[in-house]
Every structure is written in structure tokens, then in C-alpha cells.
Amino acid sequence: MTFNIVVLPGDGIGPEVTDEAVRVLEWFAQHRAIPLHLERRLFGSAAWTAEGSTMPDATWEAILAADALLFGATGSLDQTHIPPEERRKGSLLRIRKGLDVFANLRPVKAQPALAEASPFKARTVAGADLIFVRELTAGVYFGTPRGVETQADGTRRGVNTHSYTEAEIARAARFAFELARTRRGHVTSVDKANVMEAGRLWRDVVSEVHAAGYTDVTLEHMLADNCALQLGRAPTRFDVIVTDNLFGDLLSDCAGAINGSLGMLPSAALSAPDADGRRRALYEPVHGSAPDIAGKGIANPLGAILSAAMLLRWTAKAPAEADRLEKAVEAALASGARTADIAMPGEAVLSTRAMADAVISALEAN
Amino acid sequence: MTFNIVVLPGDGIGPEVTDEAVRVLEWFAQHRAIPLHLERRLFGSAAWTAEGSTMPDATWEAILAADALLFGATGSLDQTHIPPEERRKGSLLRIRKGLDVFANLRPVKAQPALAEASPFKARTVAGADLIFVRELTAGVYFGTPRGVETQADGTRRGVNTHSYTEAEIARAARFAFELARTRRGHVTSVDKANVMEAGRLWRDVVSEVHAAGYTDVTLEHMLADNCALQLGRAPTRFDVIVTDNLFGDLLSDCAGAINGSLGMLPSAALSAPDADGRRRALYEPVHGSAPDIAGKGIANPLGAILSAAMLLRWTAKAPAEADRLEKAVEAALASGARTADIAMPGEAVLSTRAMADAVISALEAN
Ligand SMILES: CC(C)[C@H](C(=O)O)[C@@H](O)C(=O)O
Ligand SMILES: CC(C)[C@H](C(=O)O)[C@@H](O)C(=O)O
């Protein structure tokens, strides 16, 4: 049996960082006998330029057939040269929805080697180790009605709809409770129940799922604004944070400041398991396409490489190899390897490629 | 001429901190001849208990007739003993909407005296001095349809509507540009234009308002998730941040971590000026009702006191007195005055009352 991985480098720094994650996965295929088959596919801006379609049929078919996707980055705002219909067709949101990868895992772990580079005091972040379960296929990202209309007086009005069904909330909650059981047993559920009826429903359903089967896990509810504050004041108080699509987007970036750079952060988006227990999966660094530094070979590949570690854990079911890769990243950082985004003034700065080399050396040293 | 201020202490720690803000304002009335008339009114939980109504008619009439409101805190989630209809009637959201105070100013300034207490490194926050213009009377807080419905299969679905008209966006943008002219001349407008059509409209209208009359101010657009990150990485890069109701709620709490405690942060909510140039105004500390510490006399009154300074500036049109009060707060902090929320281990902790005494002493020493 082979895991069939479709690689979608995307735009901006996507191709550069994805190349390094692919190199690392190929190392595991060769040296650790992880049965991975990797194939690159054109998508987004790159596919538009090459083939006149942001989502060539062959790419979409490969996406639907894959065991997992390894995704680079997409710059939806830089695509104004592409017609709106084509932009939607080749969008990350369409892939997330099409694969029904509702559970977006975003781990944030303070890296001791980056204590100096962090904007926070060491006492604030030391030991921080939290993970978001961000609901990824509903909420204001997908709700209808949506759009801009012209009102009777000729002026415009913009509308988006925040919508959650009980089933959408319940499956995210269950995922969070199951995950907490493998960690420190604590879930923080985040909403704006004091203002939004849909937030009140979120809170009620999470409590119901908890009461029905997860009372061994502790559950607290927190308002989203307070969570934004607490992520800055006391990030070590969190274990698993479950929240909706939009709050998850903002709050995971709040937490991203912990290591000083989004460049460090990986993510996985997972579907419900099929009859054979297999989940569809989309792995991508949390950072975006960063057009300002694209093509320079200076982007931090660690977010992409740590996303590859999540692939080893969740798709290849090789948790020991995932640990090995995460430890190699820590070792590379501990040995002083730094890309520009995480370097202190005066520290030597590595290229994207050289940072990945440092990780691979650390793998080989083990 | 006298400024008629209606004081609404509210719930939880609201009464304690409001008492101190009132004492400070009375000091300005007595010693600096600021013509303030302050009257307390029952509202919310307290009014429900005393009079069986969360918004007695006399309170609502006083609110509508006032030159400004000085508000303490409200704990909407702790009011489950009050019928929903009554909770809405006496809600902060009803007051905001009723007074049409669309421009919510939330300044965040790094306090040098609190550098040790801040969760951030001094190099991150030193010199940070930013202000949010949060749109306060539209967006998902007020959009319809909203509520929880039972679907055909018997399960629930929660819906809220994010809605912005061109006029609602334009007046917030104009306020932000005018304010930037009195500061460092830079506006950051924050949205999720890459995902929400209403965010795309937000971005377009802000750009149009800018082009039509404010090209002396620099404007940048930023995605809300990136703003959450940048507030942690580099808060000094911001001057004026204009954003919608919900993003403003979360992002101002992100920034609230800068001084280590929300207890430090004031706010003002202002309407459009009437024919005589007067704006309706609601002043309140950013923190909530904090039921866990209510009644203990340990809450930080500085958020309320700095809100009183904003009242001196915006309602009493006494900017020099507002500066005097802000400097007195800085002096009190510099002399070592600390409430529990901003004290370092081992530092002496003042009560709510004693902290206000320290501010009044600093006023008198000048
Ligand atoms: C690129 C954008 C559509 C996306 C989102 O908003 O979900 C990104 O910010 C993320 O967090 O993955
Ligand atoms: C109390 C609550 C309704 C309010 C809000 O969400 O606006 C508060 O968080 C605030 O920021 O003033």
C-alpha cells in the first residue's frame, strides 16, 4: 500500500517552501520506508498562466482521488487579473469544502531556541503548547446569502451570512474532545454567545456533546475577545481550543506571534473517517503567499516541513516518524539555523534551501 | 452651560470602578471648573432587582437626554435569571444603537511603568501608541436575519448576518481619517476582503473615502488575521486602525495584552455631530463585569478613570484637562501604584479606592 500525495505548490513563496517539504518527505520514503508517492499538480495562478484554468480537470480529479494534499500557499487578493469565476474555481476554499476537511488542526508550540526572537517575554511563552481545532467548512466563509447589492437609494450594501448547524458544531466538538484525550485533557470552546445567537448554539451544542460522552475531558467556554487577550497574556493556560472558522482564523494568528513568525506554523485539515478509517487531508503552512519575498529563496520552510510531519502522523499513521521530524526541526533551531523571519540582528541567516538542509542533517544525525 | 452626564454603573465590578471615575470627574468640576452635572441611574441587573425592569423609563429618557454616559460594565451572560426580552431592553447594545454612537475609540498606549508587568518584551511594545476606530452600530452585532431555527430534520441551525452599508462604512472611515490628521497621519483599515464580499465592500469604500478627501493621510489595508499577528509582533507600526464591529472587538483585546491587563483600557463611543457640533457619547472601560472579583474592592479603576479623561476631551472639550488626567495616571503608575491585575509578584497591591487616591494625589501635586 502506498499513500498517494498530491502536491499543490500554489503561488508566491508556496513553491519554494513546498519543494523543501517534498524533499523531507522523500527522505522519509527513502530512509524510513514510508510508502509515499508524491505528484505535483498545477493549480491557482500558476495553472491560469500555464493552462488558462485555475483548476484544470486533471488537478481536481487528482485532488479528489488523493490520500492527502500538500499545499503551499495561495494569494487570492493578488489574482485580480483572473476572472472572479476562475478565482473561485481554483480557490483554497473550494478545496476545503470539496474534501469536507472540517477539522483544521493548528498546533502552536513555543520553541525554546526562539525565546530571544519571540516578541513575548520568556516567562509568558515558555512551555506554551496548544492546538486549535478550527472548524473549516462552514460559518461566514460559506454562508449564503452573500454579496454586494445596490439598495433602493443607489448605494451599496455588503452581506455575509454566519451559519452553523448542530451537526457541523458537534463534529468539530467531538474531534476536539478526542484530541484532548491524547493530550492534557482540557478543551476551551470559543464563541461570542453574548452577542450572536449562532454563538449561543455553538456553546450549547459543545456542552451537549461534552455531557453525552466526554466528561473525562474538562471543558471551559470563553468569549472570543477574551481568548484573544488570554493568548497574549497567558498562552500556557490552553491545551485544545475549538472554535468556528472565522474566530479560528484570527485567533490562530494571535497565537502565531508566540514564536515571532507565522513561518513556523503548520496545519492539517481533516475530514471525517471513511468506512476504512481513512481521513481526507490537506496539509499546509499557516503563512500566506508573501508576494514581497517570493522567488528570493529566503522564506522559512519550517511551517511547510512541520506540515509534512503532520502528514506523517495523520495520513501515514507514522507517529514515531512525525516525532522524529519535529525533533529534527528543534535540533536545527537549537544548532542556530535561522531564516530571516526568525533571526535576531547579527545572527547568520540561512536560505530556504539551507534551512531544510539543516533539518535533513539533523534527521541523518539520528 | 453644564454638561449633563448620566452615570450607569451596571453590574459586577462596574459600580466599584465607576465610583472612582465619578470621584475624579468631581475633582475636575470642583478644582478645574469643568461644568459637569453627574447623575446616577439604575440599569441592567441592578435595575431588574430593584424595579423589575432592566431599563426603567426614567433611565432611558435620561440616556437620550444626556450629553454623555459614563458606563461601568455589564455581564450579559450572567443574567440568565432575567427574561430574554428584558435582557435585550437593558442591554449595552441597545444603548449603543439607540444613541447611534458608531465610532468606538479604543486607544492603547504602552505604559513605560508597566514594562515589567507586560507579557511582551520591552523592545516589542516600547512606544506603542495606537487607537482603534471600531464601527459600533452595525455588522454581525445587529444584522438580520438572526436566531436559531429548527431544520426539517429536527436539528438546530444558528444564523447571524454580517451587514454593512456604504454609508456605515464611509462614516467610520471619515472618522478614522480625521482622527489620523490629529495624530501621525496613518490609517490601517482591516477586513477579510479575501473571503467576505462585505469585507471587499469595506475595503472599496474606505479607499473611495480616502481618494475623495484624505490623500494627505496614508492608508494601508490589512487582512484581519494578519492584523492579529502584527499586533503581537510589532504593535508600534500602527497609528489609527479602522475596522468593523466584530473584528474591532477581538483585535482591541489582542492589543489589550500590551499592558498586561484590560483593566488599563478606556473607550469612547461617539455619534455624528448634531447641528451644534455636539456628539452623543458613551464612555466605558474596555474590561467587562468580572463577576469573580466583584465587590472585593480590588478591581483596577484606571480603565474607567481614563474613560473619564476621554469624556473631558470629547464631551467637555477640555483637552488640556484630559492630558492632565492622563499624566496623573502615568505619574501614579510611575510612583509604583498597582492594583492586583498589574502588580508583579512581591509588589504592594492597592485597592480600587487607593489607586484612585493615588491618581487624585498626582492631580493635586500638579
Ligand atoms: C487565505 C485565506 C482564505 C485563509 C483563510 O482565511 O482561511 C488563510 O488566512 C488561512 O488561515 O488559511
Ligand atoms: C459586552 C459585549 C457585548 C461587548 C462587545 O462585544 O462589544 C464587549 O466585549 C466590548 O468589547 O465592549
Does B88 share its domain with B158? no
Torsion from C-alpha of B52, B57, B58, B63, nearest 10 degrees: 110
Does B50 share its domain with B146? no
Closest by alpha carbon to A257, among A114, A113, A71? A114
What are the backbone angles phi and psi of residue A276, rounded to the nearest 5°? -90, 10
Residue A87 in domain:
yes
Q: What confidence score (pLDDT) does residue B89 get?
A: 87
Q: Provide long-range contacts, Cβ within 8 A and 24+ apart, for B93-98.
A: B93/A195, B93/B141, B93/B142, B94/B55, B95/B63, B95/B69, B95/B71, B95/B282, B96/B136, B96/B137, B96/B269, B96/B282, B97/B137, B97/B142, B98/B60, B98/B63, B98/B64
Q: What confidence score (pLDDT) does residue B353 get?
A: 98
For the question of residue B249 being annotated catalytic, the response is yes
Residue A194 is nearest to which of B77, B231, B258, comparing CB atoms?
B77
Give residue A77's pLDDT band: very low, low, confident or very high (50, 70, 90): low
Give residue B343's pLDDT band: very low, low, confident or very high (50, 70, 90): very high
- State the average pLDDT for chain B: 96
CA distance A82 to A79: 5
Q: Which residues of A touch B120 (CB under 8 A)?
A: 119-121, 124, 232
Give residue A85's pLDDT band: very low, low, confident or very high (50, 70, 90): confident
Q: Which residues of B touch A167 (CB under 8 A)?
A: 155
Does B218 share its domain with B266? no
Give residue B324's pLDDT band: very low, low, confident or very high (50, 70, 90): very high
Nearest CA in chain B to A191: B250
Task: Let me know: does B123 contact B87? Beta carbons within 8 Å.
Answer: no
B352: left (phi over 0), alpha (psi -120 to 50) or beta: alpha
Give residue A35's pLDDT band: very low, low, confident or very high (50, 70, 90): very high
Whether residues B198 and A256 touch (CB distance < 8 A) is answered with no
**Contact residues of ligand 1, CB 6 A cut-off:** A 76, 92, 249, 288; B 194-195, 225
The whole domain housing A130 covers 118-135+156-257
Does B251 share its domain with B125? yes
Q: Min CA distance, B138 vs chain A (Å)?
A: 11
Residue A142 in domain:
no
% pLDDT > 90, chain B: 91
pLDDT at A45 over 90: no
The domain spanning residue A284 has which CATH number? 3.40.718.10
> Where a domain ends, among B210, B239, B259?
B259
Residue B232 in domain:
yes
Q: Which residue has the cell 452573500?
A: A146
Q: Which spans in chain A are helix H?
A: 14-31, 44-51, 57-65, 84-89, 92-99, 122-125, 166-181, 197-213, 224-233, 245-256, 302-314, 319-334, 352-364
Active-site hit among B141, B164, B214, B283: B141
Residue B339 in domain:
yes
**Helix, strand, or coil (residue B270):** strand
The residue whose C-alpha atom lies closest to atom 6 belonging to ligand 2 is B249
Does B99 share its domain with B167? no
pLDDT tens digit sequence for B251-302? 999 999 999 899 999 999 999 999 999 999 999 999 999 999 999 999 999 9
The residue whose C-alpha atom lies closest to atom 4 belonging to ligand 2 is B249
Whether residues A119 and B118 touch (CB distance < 8 A) is answered with no
pLDDT at A182 over 90: yes
Does B233 share its domain with B122? yes
If one residue of A190, A195, A222, A229 were mutated to test the ligand 2 pocket, choosing by the most ligand atoms within 8 A of its CB, it would be A195
> Where a domain ends, among A241, A257, A273?
A257
Active-site hit among B11, B249, B283, B341: B249
Give residue B77's pLDDT band: very low, low, confident or very high (50, 70, 90): low
pLDDT tens digit sequence for A231-290? 999 999 999 999 999 999 999 999 999 998 999 999 999 999 999 999 999 999 999 999
User: In Å, what is the CA distance from A131 to each residue of A125, A180, A297?
Assistant: 14, 9, 29
Provide mean pLDDT across the span B100-104: 98
Give residue B136's pLDDT band: very low, low, confident or very high (50, 70, 90): very high
Residue B164 is nearest to which of A77, A158, A196, comparing CB atoms?
A158
Does B124 share its domain with B234? yes
Residue A300 in domain:
yes
User: Which of B159, B164, B244 best probes binding to A when mutated, by most A CB atoms within 10 angstroms?
Assistant: B159
Q: For the whole model, what pTM was predicted?
A: 0.97
CA distance B358 to B362: 6
> Where a domain ends, among B202, B229, B259?
B259
Does A168 share its domain with A244? yes
Does A336 share its domain with A352? yes
Q: What confidence score (pLDDT) does residue B366 get?
A: 79
Residue A144 in domain:
no
Query: Across-strand partners of A68?
Result: A5
pLDDT tens digit sequence for A103-118? 999 999 999 999 999 9
Provide mean pLDDT across the span B50-66: 94
Mark the binding-site residues of A for NAD(+), compressed into ranges. 288-300
**Ligand 1 atom with minimal separation from the A267 CA:** 12
pLDDT at B76 over 70: no
Q: Which residues of A touch B246 (CB under 8 A)?
A: 192
The region of weakest confidence among A132-136, B47-51, B56-60 is B47-51
pLDDT at B49 over 80: yes
Residue A151 is nearest to which of B156, B165, B192, comparing CB atoms?
B165
Q: What confidence score (pLDDT) does residue A271 get?
A: 98
**Ligand 2 atom with minimal separation from the B104 CA:** 12
CA distance A215 to A236: 22
Mark the binding-site residues of A for Mg(2+), compressed into ranges. 225, 249, 253
The domain spanning residue A239 has which CATH number? 3.40.50
For the question of residue A225 being annotated catalytic, the response is yes
Provide mean pLDDT across the span A156-176: 98
Q: Min CA distance, A281 vs chain B (Å)?
A: 22
Residue B135 in domain:
no
Provide mean pLDDT across the span B132-141: 98
Whether residues B224 and A250 touch (CB distance < 8 A) is answered with yes
% pLDDT > 70, chain A: 99
Q: What confidence score (pLDDT) does residue A76 get?
A: 63
Active-site hit among A11, A19, A67, A141: A141
pLDDT at A312 over 80: yes
Query: Across-strand partners of B159?
Result: A163, B147
pLDDT at A84 over 90: no
User: In Å, what is the CA distance from B246 to each residue of A190, A328, A351?
Assistant: 14, 40, 39
Q: Min CA distance, A309 vs chain B (Å)?
A: 24
- State the average pLDDT for chain A: 96
pLDDT at B107 over 90: yes
Does A251 share its domain with A363? no
Q: How many independent structural domains does chain A possess?
A: 2
Q: Min CA distance, B156 vs chain A (Å)?
A: 5
pLDDT at A176 over 80: yes
**Helix, strand, or coil (residue A275):** coil
Does B155 share its domain with B243? yes
pLDDT tens digit sequence for B186-242? 999 999 999 999 999 999 999 999 999 999 999 999 999 999 999 999 999 999 999
Provide mean pLDDT across the span B49-68: 94
**Ligand 1 atom with minimal separation from the A75 CA:** 1
CA distance B222 to A197: 28
Q: Which residues of B touch A147 (CB under 8 A)?
A: 197
Does B255 share its domain with B144? yes
Residue A150 in domain:
no
